[in-house]
Amino acid sequence: MPNDFLKLPPRAAAKPLLALCLLWPAGVSAAALTLTPVQPGQIRVDGDVGEWRGARFVELGEAADSSIEYALGYDGEALYVAARVYDESLVRSRKPARREDAVVLALALPRAGGTHRLSEVWLYAGEIGRSPASGAVARGGGTPKAERAIQIVEGPLADGDGYVLEARVPWKVLPGGREHQIGRGALRLHDVDGKVGARPAVLASARGTRARSLPPLRVEGGANAALSDFLRQKGIGSGAIRRDLVGDAFGDGRLERVVVASTFAIVVGPDIQGGGGFHYLDLPVTGGAGVRDAALRDLTGDGKVELTLRLSQQNELGKREVFQVMALDRPEARKLLSLELRKQTDDGWVEAELRIGKGKPPTIEARIGEAKGLGPDNYREPRVQGVEPVLVPWGAVRRRVYRWDGTRFAVEDEEQNPDAHVPEPKRVAARAPADDGVERVASHPEPPGLDRLVAAFRRSQGLDPSARPRSVRHVNVAEDGRHESLMLFDAHLLVVGKGYRGGSGYFYFQLPVASGRDIQRLFTGDVTGDGRREVFVRFKQHIADVQREILLAYTFEADGGMRQILALEVRRAQGGSAVGNVVDLVPSGSHWALRIKPGRARGWSAGSYPFVSDASDGYGALLLPWNDRTARYRYREGRLLRSD
């Protein structure tokens, strides 16, 4: 085992056990089982846990006659168990059953569709001269059945009554064993006093025996550990997880775990950076409550599941619910379809129905639903590029069916609405001279005006009506060739423009900072080559006594929303020492590229720099002057990627 784990001292005098038939003490959180990677041949199953020296053994219970210390290891072929069991008497029969002394591992291993296969591994110590140690597997909560492939040996306990147990459990004997990186599990000690068949006292690492009630296995270097690291870095607690899904979304046929937590969707699995990395996307909602539903379904018929989301969004004109289909088969998630299903304003609401059919690929059907307070005379909604508008009872279409055609979700069938009624929009006159000298009238819908949109944003955020942005830039970032106004209000980036969303709506985005004061710089430049500029934000991040500076880049998509295309650390400081990168946009053909120079270090050198250089937290690694050279980032595959 790795030597950086703690070694437990010899067991001290034990305290009396207060409750014998106890699954988990009230008020104590479930403990995740940690599995540490081992090298081939490192563990010999011989009843001597000497090769486990330096391992972190976990204590369960405190009594001298009913407690256990255990450690778990793994490789690609098997699970390894080492345990010191403190027990004054071993209750054991020739044919081990549930009501006798045993160490039990409950493992819930996922399968496609989100369900789990529940198995229990029963490890029985032997009695010297009478019976050998043995292993058994109970599948689906059934009776434990002997499993010869399990290697198990017990030995004497050096510092008290009891025994040492060591076992190797091949993953192949467990249904779904190859998916252990995203599995769940708990360990129990069954202690029977008196005779075989007596009711056992049970100590467990976690409450519950159903699959979903077991905590995720923390396989070091694996998918569940990568997810935990992401949530910790973002300050997201387990209570913020709204959906925990499993399906084959990426790579080969192995399963991925897709978790929707707060405003993120995170994808982890054995095919993502060897199991130790993650992909994630920022969802277009302002809080976790904006995610109404999430599921995994194969809607393109390629054997890979897509993430479907039902999102609740709000702007100055009201609220809406949107159904989105996201492909997760690449590191950068792709939006395949966006349907508006509900719209609510001060006057009322209108909603449509959604049905997902059968077939391969299945159909997605939208049809008109109900409306209250809204009708052809008072419903005015500009169409947003990239989002299919809600079907309304007075509109031209009663029912529309989409199906994946290999490249997009195309309209397969459409039913006209016999009750359609399209009102004349409110118009204002504008006079324009014609070539023949005769004045004619050109009409256009009346927009609300940019000042009104900014005022509506202030009201929605509870800002003072006179609050002024700390930064304003007038550049073309979205839709047509006209300029938008980018306004920075504290930590919110507001986007408005006469050509943006028809001049009738705004977009705002909360930047991932603790306070607007942490934002140091906002600049723009066209790095995608589409003629529109991307937005770059540089901000401070504080972690204990360490200060980091992060550079993020965003591009605007067809629906007017923002998508992150870059995340890099560009400065780090601690005390009086610091190392910072030089950030520039430089010409690259008809547009720009991002150039990062390592810069200079103050107070640190190659020998004294105290940090490990990595990108495990989702940010590209800081360039170090003693290791790295100047890097250029160019846009390809939907992101800004290093090109040298």
Average pLDDT over residues 435-453: 50
Average pLDDT over residues 518-529: 94
Q: How many CB atoms lie within 10 A of CB 531?
A: 10
Average pLDDT over residues 446-461: 78
Is the pLDDT at 3 greater than 70? The verdict is no
CB of 109 closer than 8 Å to CB of 90? no
Average pLDDT over residues 423-451: 44
- Predicted local confidence at residue 501, as pLDDT: 77
- Predicted local confidence at residue 567, as pLDDT: 92
- Predicted local confidence at residue 617, as pLDDT: 61
Is the pLDDT at 571 greater than 80? The verdict is yes
Dump pLDDT digits (tens) for 164-200: 999 999 999 999 999 999 999 999 999 888 777 778 8
Lowest mean pLDDT among 11-15, 31-35, 396-400: 11-15
Can you list the positions of beta strands (E) in 589-624? 591-597, 601-602
Average pLDDT, the chain: 84
Is the pLDDT at 569 greater than 70? The verdict is yes
Is the pLDDT at 347 greater than 80? The verdict is yes
Dump pLDDT digits (tens) for 308-318: 999 998 765 67
CA distances from residue 600 to 316, 495, 629 in whole angstroms, order as listed: 46, 36, 12
When pLDDT is cut at 50, 70 and 90, the band that residue 479 belongs to is: confident
pLDDT: which is higher, 95 or 222: 222
Is the pLDDT at 431 greater than 90? The verdict is no
- Predicted local confidence at residue 349, as pLDDT: 94
When pLDDT is cut at 50, 70 and 90, the band that residue 552 belongs to is: very high
When pLDDT is cut at 50, 70 and 90, the band that residue 51 belongs to is: confident
- 236-240: list long-range contacts, CB under 8 Å, 24+ apart: 236/261, 236/262, 236/264, 240/288
Dump pLDDT digits (tens) for 200-252: 888 888 876 678 789 999 999 999 999 999 998 888 887 889 999 999 999 88
Say if domain 34-219 classifies as CATH 2.60.40.1190.
yes
- Predicted local confidence at residue 50, as pLDDT: 76
Is the pLDDT at 524 greater than 90? The verdict is yes
CA distances from residue 316 to 226, 456, 507, 511 in whole angstroms, order as listed: 38, 5, 9, 19
Which token pair is 621?
A: 């690694």
Lowest mean pLDDT among 87-101, 131-145, 358-372: 87-101
- Return the percentage of the chain with pLDDT > 90, whole number: 47
Say how far apart CA 119 and CA 124 lie, in whole Å: 16
Lowest mean pLDDT among 115-119, 311-315, 437-441: 437-441
- At residue 379, the 3 state secondary structure works out as coil
Say how far apart CA 561 and CA 118 lie, in whole Å: 42
pLDDT: which is higher, 87 or 96: 87
Lowest mean pLDDT among 25-29, 88-92, 354-358: 25-29
- Closest by CA position to 130, among listed 90, 183, 84: 90
Say how far apart CA 5 and CA 312 lie, in whole Å: 46
When pLDDT is cut at 50, 70 and 90, the band that residue 5 belongs to is: very low
- Predicted local confidence at residue 256, as pLDDT: 94
Dump pLDDT digits (tens) for 268-308: 999 898 888 999 988 888 888 889 999 999 999 999 999 99
Query: What does the domain layout of the chain look like in residue ranges?
Result: 34-219, 283-416, 450-642
Residue matched to tokens 């045993």 = 102
Say how far apart CA 391 and CA 369 lie, in whole Å: 8
